Amino acid sequence: MATSLPSCALYLLLLLSLQHPSQASDTLTANQKLSGNQKLISQDGNFALGFFQPAALVGGSNDKWYIGIWYNKIPTQTIVWVANRGKPVYDPVLSNLIISDDGNLALLANHSKSPMWSTNIRNHIATSSTMAVLNNSGNLVVKHDSNNSTVLWQSFDDFTDTWLPGNKLSRNKKTGVIKRLVSWKDRGDPALGLFSIQLDSNGSPQYILQWNNSIVYWESGNWSGNAYTGVPESSPSNSYPNSGYTFQFVDNDVETYFTYTVKNDAQTFTRGIVDVSGLFQTLVWTNVTQAWTPFFTQPKAKCIVYGVCGENSKCSENAASSCSCLKGFTEKYPENWKLGDHTAGCRRNVPLKCGNNGSMKTKQDRFYVINSVKLPDDARSIDAADVRACELTCLNNCSCIAYSYDGSCWVWYNHLMNLQDNIGGSMYSISIRLGASELPNSGTKKWRTTAIIISGLIVLSFGVTILYFSHKRRRPISGINHGDGSLISFKYRDLQFITRNFSERLGAGSFGSVFKGVLPNATIVAVKKLEGFHQGDKQFRAEVSTIGNIHHMNLIRLLGFCSKGPMRLLVYEYMPSGSLDKHLFGSSSTTLSWKIRYQIAAGIAKGLAYLHEECRDCIIHCDIKPENILLDDSFVPKVADFGLAKLLGRNFSRVLTSMRGTVGYLAPEWISGEAITTKADVFSYGMMPFEIISGKRNLEHTETSMGTFFPVLVAKKLLEGQVQTLFGSEIFNAVGVELERACKVACWCVQDSESSRPTMGEVVKILEGLLDVEMPPVPRYLEVLAEGSKNVKFFSDEPAK
């Protein structure tokens, strides 16, 4: 008996090893099963397969489980494939993933013999050697052990919402089968959603985004031989940075497909995804931020996505939240909205009184007017002599929920889809049908409401009079309590009061002086008095309104304005750490670490990329320099004075000529008289990383033994492979990769030709390590100009002579 115990234990261990794959195994064989928290892990450890629950389950549900594949080495749960998308199991311990007797990979739940999901392989001979292997590519493959080259089934042929490198988006010309990505139903449910991406079923060499497998809302444009015409990101790089992606389009007698691979893919996690919001994105995992960073997103405008906000809602491109329910409606599924999924739309608060509108005992439904919109889809045209007839026709039809009249009568039945706010300056209006209680102050109670309003005005006037005489010395600030984020229209005397008659000047720039102010709620603000300004009041207010709607963490926030006679003032958020130039070249006692310097360079790039590429109307700053970069208390950079070029109009060119001399921050096109584009901002930005790195004005280096204009010197040292000699081995060894990256991107930004300079969006990706960057040539324009101008005082406050 003493020897039988070890034998039993050995037998049990052997039995267990046959029943369950080990944690390190990438293979499931016919005599094994996977259940509970067991996993298959690819040989390189990058992918895992097992039971999971979505990270964002809606409604607090926690009993739905799925078989899926995810990234095994990153902390953020990222699912790339799901087997049982629409059929969850409810107990992973009682559920098993097995190789069934017929040779299929199958999911069994609660001891059932009927699979919840199966690979459904047909016309093959089932053998005991059938196995499932999780490859390093993230592809789950079913094959025979005796014939590894023959794939019986693979997850790469069973797309969910994710496109991994090496997989094909394809259309089989013989069978007509199209492989397409389909979004999740919502962020907590991997069932089939509304949005998909696929190659064009009509045969054109492009891929398309669709809603409900029926309505195309975005096209890539045809393949031109090396790129899609509507996707410049797919074009191979020539003189400027290589993205690391390789794209391939194949069209032969059997199939058409598009695929991509990634250089150094062992170190890079990347994926394409059709999100529940209808956007198609390529994302890259960034170790520094421990987050997925978008490399490519389409469509650029969110409101282009069909049905992105669902029914009975409005999409606004420039609002903080792009989707909002119409008046009289609330979110159908509020939890989904919190997770950024609005596709379920909104429901009506109060039922319509359809059928009772002719009764004197019942309040009639009424209409709420929304102006300046793009009208919803599925409008129906009906005969109506005028707007009143159009309204009555809709009111008398139980199914009619809205109308619009522009000389013709348009009506909508049952639902409103794709209503958009002020697209392209649209002047259309739409009248939404609501229950009478949603629009109060009507009918027989109008007199009561009027009386209440009059009484309220009397009380308010009396109260204001008392407050005026009792607090005359404590002048109230008019309009200060805006709680909706809209701009405040200040009175000039209010700004005099909060700035103590403009007594504390924070600084002076090209556009005027800035003063410190304190609002009654103790909020500190910066008040800029614009100088040399002659724009009319109406145009000024329109331009300021546009600037006030621009929100980004790396752009200074405009809070309000004042327009009185010839005076124009802007009120901004206050930045306690002041401007960047004071920390780089001034007497600031704060020494910026390399981490903060790099953060500042990247943050400025992000702010400019937003102005150039993400605003409805592209904004060219035209005056990028350290003096216009402000820092908050955490040294997060914020670009200031954007949009002022448009406000100043013709006066702006005069301002620039006296800004920083010849080779300060101005692009060569300012001097040559060529048209100014966003690439002028790129050049100006490019001059700053040299100064951020060194802590000196670029020209100050010529006073040392270096004797060469610093940007030119950096470019030459890069080509020689000796850039480390400019900064010292100790610094370079600590931050060499980022330092060299910053020097390269700066040199590319200051190239003579606009076409050779990157976009600011590309600059951001380079600094974040998402784009490779080639060695830049020496910027010839700066080299020649600096050589011929050694005796010029470039950085004086006066223009160069």
Q: Which residues are catalytic?
A: 623
List residues forming the annotated binding site: 529
Residue 473, class by beta-carbon neighbours within 10 Å (0-12 exposed, 13-18 middle, 19+ buried)?
A: exposed
The number of beta carbons lying within 10 Å of the beta carbon of residue 527 is 24
Cross-strand pairs, 48: 41, 70
Distance between CA atoms of residues 145 and 99, nearest Å: 13
Bond prior to 232 in cis (omega within 30° of 0):
no
Q: Are 315 and 342 in contact (CB under 8 A)?
A: no
Which two tokens mark 338?
């919190």
DSSP-assigned letters across all residues of 641-656: STTHHHHHTTHHHHHH
* Residue list, annotated binding site for ATP: 529
> Who's near 653: CB < 8 A, 6+ residues apart?
none
Strand order in the sheet with 270-274: 162-163, 270-274, 280-286, 291-298
Query: What region, left, alpha or beta, does residue 721 occupy, with left being phi > 0 and alpha being psi -120 to 50 degrees?
Result: left
Query: Are the C-beta atoms of residues 758 and 242 closer than 8 Å to each other?
Result: no
Report how far residue 560's alpha carbon sits from residue 548's, in angstroms, rounded to the nearest whole number. Answer: 8
Give exposure, 784-799, as e/b (b: 16+ Cβ within 10 Å). ebbeebeebebbeeee
Residue with the two structure tokens 């009061």: 497
For residues 585 and 696, the answer to whether their CB atoms sit within 8 Å is yes
Select from 36, 116, 120 the least CA-distant residue to 84.
Answer: 116
Q: Do strands 428-434 and 366-374 pair parallel, antiparallel, or not at all (unpaired)?
A: antiparallel
Q: How far apart are CA 370 and CA 428, in angstroms?
A: 9
Question: Distance from CA of residue 342 to its chain's centroid?
Answer: 16
Residues in the chain: 801
CA–CA gap between residue 601 and residue 749 (Å, rounded): 13
- Tokens 């949009």 -> residue: 643
| Angle value at C-alpha 266, between 260 and 268, nearest 5 degrees | 65
